[in-house]
Structure 1
Amino acid sequence: MSARTTRIRLFAATTVALAALSLTACQGDSEDTSAESPSSSATATGPSTPSDGASTDKGSNAGGAAGSKEQSGSKEKDQAGSNGSGGSSGTGNAPGSNGGSGAAGSQGGGKNDDAKPGKCSASSVKITATEVSRPLNHLLLTATNTGSKTCYLPAYPMARFGEAQSVPPVAEETKPQAVTTLEPGKSGYAGVLLSAGDGSAEGGHTVTTLTVPFDDGSVATVALPSGGVHVDNALTVTYWQPSMDTALTY
């Protein structure tokens, strides 16, 4: 065998051996890759957990925010309800409250109260006494409103003549349907039966002073005709009337 032939065989054997080694290495790489693929797969799927966690956190945050809004809304409703139900701030600030229970409502009520007639007073109503020829033994009392506001008179004049300890009775048949109200400058009238026309009554005497109280506690002093008037136990007054003729019918 020649040396050339020997070299060719050695080269061929070496080539075969190298090819075998390369195949073995390739198979090993394939096995390593296959072995590693599960971990790669695990690595690829691993981040899904944080992703789920993030979704959960977002859901929790959204739920918490919604819950906070609901709680805030409830608080606002509760606050609005308490303010509207009679709280001082609610009734003062709410537009609807100006109609009745707020400051504007109170002012409106005050204006209505001012428009209503009040009790007449001796400071704003002057009472005069005049003797009349008919009916006999009668005195006419005239109450004139000299003030600037409308007022109402007492039901009847609780006249006190002289030093009498009591006031004369009132003739019930003269009671009007309503108390007499006086506008500024207007007058009301009451008749006084001083004594019995036939002289049948007892206790006759002359008086020179007359006072008439008002419902507010004030008292008017009324000037009697010169020389005074004669009264007896028949002394009677009528209710205050809006007309002179009505007052002198008794």
Structure 2
Amino acid sequence: MRTSRLQLLAAAGVAVASLALTACQDGTGTRDEGASASQPVASAPSGASSQAPEESPSDGGGNGSTANGSGGSGGDASGSGDSGSKGSSAGTSDGSEDAPATFNPCNGANTGVTAAPVSRPVNHMLITVKNTGAKNCDLTYYPVLRFDEMQWVPQPIEDSKPQAVVTLGPGESAYAGVLLSAADGSGSGGATGKKLTVGFQARTPNSDGGPAAIPSLPAKGVYYDSSLTVTYWQSSMDDALAY
């Protein structure tokens, strides 16, 4: 009886061992191990693939930016060099926004100048400048007038300032009107001028534009007083005598 019980216990132990061995070799256990191992494997490619697009655009963008930047920088440098050079040339030699890029002053060497009193408007004189040269010349600002040994310079009529510098082609003329004296007699220091010197300005105000002109005056001379003023150079005779 005792022997049979021992045999039964032994058989039960063998069965338990067999079941344990079977459980170890079960496909379920293998799948669990595979799943736990596959998780890091799956996450690694996922992380790598997510990093790859970030690096690729960054590199491509960097290279493109460098190439474009170089090209753009070169273009900018070239462009700014040209514009800077032009701006510097205009600014240095001109100082006036109205002056043309290529400047050739009209003066007593390349023009013919006349000065004659007119009947209307009263007490006015017209100065005419004709380009006698072979190329264009430019008249800036207004004529600088001086009668005889006059010690003061007649002021310009600011309302007569044109929109741009007057440029004369060969054979073309420009004009300036001169108010000699006040019509109502309010001027002072009246005198009769026998000689008139017409000075020219360059690209900056009150600069020397070259040789002056000395046009002939009537034999009796020209009367002027402290009201003496002059217009800016005009392309039209009517505009010159409108002030």
Q: TM-score, normalised by structure 2?
A: 0.54
> Do structure 1's residue 153 and structure 2's residue 118 form an aligned pair?
no
The answer to whether the 8 A contact 1:187-1:242 is kept is yes
Matched residues, percent identical? 25
| Alignment-derived partner of residue 181 in structure 1 | 166
| Alignment-derived partner of residue 53 in structure 1 | 37
Q: 1:37 to 1:223 in 2, by over 3 A?
A: closer
> For 1:182-201, what aligned pairs fall within 5 Å after superposition?
182=167, 184-185=169-170, 186-193=172-179
| Alignment-derived partner of residue 9 in structure 1 | none
**1:76-95 Cα shifts (integer Å, max 9, x gaps):** 66x59988xxx9547448xx
- The alpha-carbon deviation at position 41 of structure 1 amounts to 2.8
One-letter amino acid of the counterpart of residue 209, structure 2: V
| Alignment-derived partner of residue 7 in structure 2 | none
> For 1:220-231, what aligned pairs fall within 5 Å after superposition?
220-225=210-215, 230=221
For residue 238 of structure 1, the aligned residue among 219, 231, 235 is 231
> Do structure 1's residue 247 and structure 2's residue 240 form an aligned pair?
yes
| Alignment-derived partner of residue 19 in structure 1 | none
> Do structure 1's residue 118 and structure 2's residue 99 form an aligned pair?
yes
SS of aligned partner of 1:239? coil
The alignment yields a C-alpha RMSD, in angstroms, of: 5.2
For residue 156 of structure 2, the aligned residue among 151, 165, 170 is 170
| Alignment-derived partner of residue 14 in structure 1 | none
**1:197-240 Cα shifts (integer Å, max 9, x gaps):** 99x96233433644222343332323313589845543432332
The answer to whether the 8 A contact 1:240-1:247 is kept is yes
The answer to whether the 8 A contact 2:143-2:198 is kept is no
| Alignment-derived partner of residue 141 in structure 1 | 128
The answer to whether the 8 A contact 2:234-2:240 is kept is yes
Q: Of the two structures, which has the highest relative contact order with CA contacts closer than 8 Å and spacing of 6 or more?
A: 2
Gaps of 5+ in 1: 1-26
Q: TM-score, normalised by structure 1?
A: 0.53
SS of aligned partner of 1:158? strand
- The alpha-carbon deviation at position 33 of structure 1 amounts to 5.4
Larger CA Rg, structure 1 vs 2: 1
> Do structure 1's residue 69 and structure 2's residue 53 form an aligned pair?
yes
Q: 1:34 to 1:194 in 2, by over 3 A?
A: closer
Gaps of 5+ in 2: 1-10, 90-96
How many residue pairs align between the two structures?
206
As a proportion of its length, which structure holds more helix?
Answer: 1
Measured in 1, the distance between the counterparts of 2:230 and 2:101 equals: 19
Measured in 2, the distance between the counterparts of 1:147 and 1:237 equals: 28
